[in-house]
A and B are shown apart, each in its own frame.
Chain A
Amino acid sequence: MPFTADNAAHQIQERLKSINQLVHEIEKARQHSEVNLNNITKTQEKFNSEDKLSAFHQQKLKSVYSAAVADAQQEENLLRKALEKINEIRLIRNERRIQARNAGNKETIRRGALMKMLLSTAQTLPLYVGKTPGAKAPPLCGAVPAEPTYMAKTGDMVAALVKGSEEEENWILAEVVHANTTTNKYEVDDIDEEQKDRHTLSKRRVVPLPLMRADPETDPHALFPKGSIVMALYPQTTCFYKAVVNHLPTTAQEEYEVLFEDATYADGYSPPLNVPQRYVISIKESKKNKNQA
């Protein structure tokens, strides 16, 4: 749906307001649950001073636990709502941006700003927190690949295998301009503004980037395991290269630590570099040749 500038601004304002309200509600919920959590601590302390845990104590503990769980769920719901609103704002803005581009007013970004933008979009990628422990993460969350039939949408970021000037092929960071579901072809723009050319590529040569981050604390199974071979965006560039996962993030805000395959280093690997979850994807081996780092 197209947004006029006013309309979009209005929508965003509305959401900002409800976020504000939600933040206050969250604070209230936290105050509430803190009472209960203190209760748990007290109860545990009391029972721990006695050696044996009687049936009565168990009952008591169970009731405080249940209360705490209810509180936590309340909090969780509010937090999810607030984050949802934030995401909506981002979607609206992205929509506006695509419209603007289609209208022809393409904003030019300097390289430094571009890098900053890439980092911030990676950091603000929505976070996936599983509702139940061990729940299967959806596709395009963390390390979970897209379904085979999935086509990225206009405006989505992808890794695209394009031919360079000297017949060499590179996985570049690109933005989908158009996705043709009947021919299974993408039109993508190089994210780097200096490269002006637009590429038309078959689906095979395009890997959508994750749409969500996985929370290492709640859904560690949706991360690449240590030692797996991945494609990762080399810092300060817009190209993906083969890398080995060296260290997993431990919180939602942390990044992967990876070792890039790099022939310029003595042992064939770069020193550990940090790459956000968004720019780490599963490897797609090209049949013809490897990328040269």
Chain B
Amino acid sequence: MSGKGKQNSKKAMVKSGTSRESGGKLSQQLQQPSTPLAADHSSSDSSEATITLPVIKMIDNSKLLPRYTSILERTAEEGITMEDLDILQNELETLLSATVVRSRLINEEIINLNVSEEKRDKRSKASKSLTLVDKKSRDEKLKPKELGLKSHSPLPTKLMKQRAAGSSATQVVPNPHEIIRVEGSKLDGKSLLPKNDTLNKFWASVEPYCGDITSEDIKLLQDLIAHHSDLGEFKKIPPLGRHYTMVWAEQELMQEEEAGRDPNNTEKKKQSDVTRLLSKVDKKSNGISGPLTQRLVSALLEENVYVANNNADNKLFRDGDPPVLRDLSIQNSMNLEMRMHKELVEQGILDAEPQKKNPEEDEILMEIKRCQRELIALSSHNEQQLKKLLQHAKDECKRQELKRKISTVDNEVVENYTKLVAAKQRKVPLTKKDQEKAWASLKEREQLLEQLNSMPPNDIGEPVVVKPNLDTQC
């Protein structure tokens, strides 16, 4: 892409020379040949050196900035006169505009470079999910810039995307806190440099492990547990059906037919084709089943089948065939198979043993049963764990509730204490009512602390015992 980019830029340069004419004044700007701003932020590694910088070259001074140039050539005594001012202002403005545009472009380019660099780093180490979130956020930040920072409209949709990405990426349990955090960082991040949301990202990732347990979390756990109870669907063993290759073949045929079908025309005809074809297949495969029967038939019918296939009416057997063969087409071919087997055993050609087993107990069934056993075991284990979690969560909820109460009571106590101190300073004894209130809140606090202590210790390692931090004596 780089080679092509160069050529483009030269074209752009030539064009820009003419496009920037204004009111017959100066302001023809030459653009420095460089690669054009491809602005291809989405593809990775796309930030290859690609900017067209508007630069007024020194060589063009006299052409583009005549007054400016003439002032430069004057001696210090001559200086600038009032007459120069208007045109000089114009020329200086042109320069300023070009300079600012240039520095903005370069700045943007630097940001792009940073982005691609970070991407590269990330790719090597950090987990894939994080990069995804990252890339998205980066793109978001860049896009508004491309649009001249004017449009805020793309933001909401992106937040939605971000929500999806964020929640699925970080952990299984979607946590409202975490999402809020990520959103927050997104909004802040827009005005910041791209690097600075690392901090927020860290806290967002830690949040679900430290945050309070909400009723939503508990509900989610309950839902998950409920989910485990209905495994019925997986315990079902479907009845023996046709072999999968046949089902698949049929589906494929249907699909092909679907794809090749003309919108309106010939539809019916083709459909009928398929059904006919299928019925033919059915006839053959259902008619002769069981390995023994098939072997027998193939031994007897080698050439006949061939001929039969060519028959116009697609009949498997010709009218002249012996009645034994007619028997073959009976519907319940299993019977035939069994009869044949019995016959063969009686003749002493076959051993009775291998066929003895129940036709139900083939290896696929065994596998299905094995999988189901595993699934049930796993599910019950998971359920246990979830129940344990739920119990913990509920306990924690109670604990949080207590803590909240304690903190309000704490505040009350502190309030009372300050009142007490104030009263002491003024040497006025506390009113009876105030004293009672103070005692009441103290007692309530103690009681709550007791409750908290009496709760089973949680295994998070958090100190359960809250030391009384205030001692008020009245």
Q: Which residues of A contact B (CB under 8 A)?
A: 12, 16-17, 19-20, 23-24, 26-27, 30-31, 34, 37, 40-41, 43-45, 47-51, 53, 55, 58, 61-62, 65-66, 68-69, 72-73, 75-76, 79-80, 82-83, 86, 89-90, 120, 123-124, 127, 129-130, 133-134, 215, 217-218, 220-221, 250-255
> A24, A40, A76, A120: which contacts B53 (Cβ < 8 A)?
A40
What is the number of contacts between chain A and chain B, taking CB atoms within 8 Å? 172
Q: Which parts of B77-114 form the interface with A (CB within 8 Å)?
A: 79-82, 85-86, 88-90, 92-104, 106-107, 109-110, 113-114
Q: Give the 8 A-B CB pairs with smallest separation, nearest first.
A: A134-B149, A72-B103, A48-B2, A44-B49, A79-B96, A253-B22, A127-B93, A16-B80
- List the interface of chain B (C-beta within 8 A of A): 2-3, 5-6, 20, 22-23, 25, 27, 32-35, 45, 47-50, 53, 55-58, 68, 71-72, 74, 76, 79-82, 85-86, 88-90, 92-104, 106-107, 109-110, 113-114, 116-117, 120, 145, 148-150
The answer to whether B45 touches A53, judged by C-beta atoms less than 8 angstroms apart, is yes
Asked if A69 and B110 make an inter-chain contact with CB atoms under 8 angstroms apart, the answer reads: yes
Asked if B96 and A80 make an inter-chain contact with CB atoms under 8 angstroms apart, the answer reads yes
A215 to B93, CA, bound (A): 9
Specify the chain B residue showing the minimal Cβ separation from A249. Answer: B22
The answer to whether B96 touches A83 (Cβ under 8 A) is: yes
Q: A12-B82, A23-B88, A72-B102 given. 5 additional CB < 8 A pairs?
A: A26-B95, A44-B34, A124-B90, A251-B22, A253-B90
6 contacts between A and B (CB under 8 A): A20-B79, A34-B58, A40-B53, A79-B95, A86-B89, A217-B100
Q: Nearest-CB distance from A277 to chain B (Å)?
A: 12
Give Cα A146–Cα B327 distance, bound, in whole angstroms.
Answer: 102
**B110 adjacent to A48 (CB under 8 Å):** no
Contact among B22, B58, B76, B113 for A62, CB-based, below 8 A: B113
CB <8 Å contact, B110 and A251: no
Q: Which residues of the partner chain B approach A134 to less than 8 Å between Cβ atoms?
A: 145, 148-150
Select one of A23, A75, A129 contacting B72, CB under 8 A.
A23
Could you tell me if B148 and A48 are in contact, using CB atoms closer than 8 angstroms?
no
> Which residues does chain A contribute within 8 Å of B100, judged by CB atoms?
72, 76, 129-130, 215, 217-218
CB distance from A24 to the nearest CB of B (A): 7
**B93 pairs with A83, CB closer than 8 A:** yes
Nearest CB of B to A135, in Å: 9
A89 to B92, CA, bound (A): 15
Contacts of A221 in B (CB 8 A): 148-150
Pick the residue among B34, B58, B97 that contacts A251 (CB under 8 A). Answer: B97
Contact B27 A251 (CB under 8 A): yes
A52 to chain B, nearest CB (A): 8
Please, how many angstroms separate the alpha-carbon atoms of A215 and B145 in the complex? 17
The contact of A76 among B25, B27, B99, B145, by CB within 8 Å, is B99
CB distance from A42 to the nearest CB of B (A): 10
The residue in chain A whose Cβ has the minimal distance to the Cβ of B74 is A20
- Which residues on the A side are within 8 Å of B95 (C-beta)? 26, 30, 75, 79
User: When chains A and B are docked, how far (Å) is the Cα of A120 from the Cα of B20?
Assistant: 21
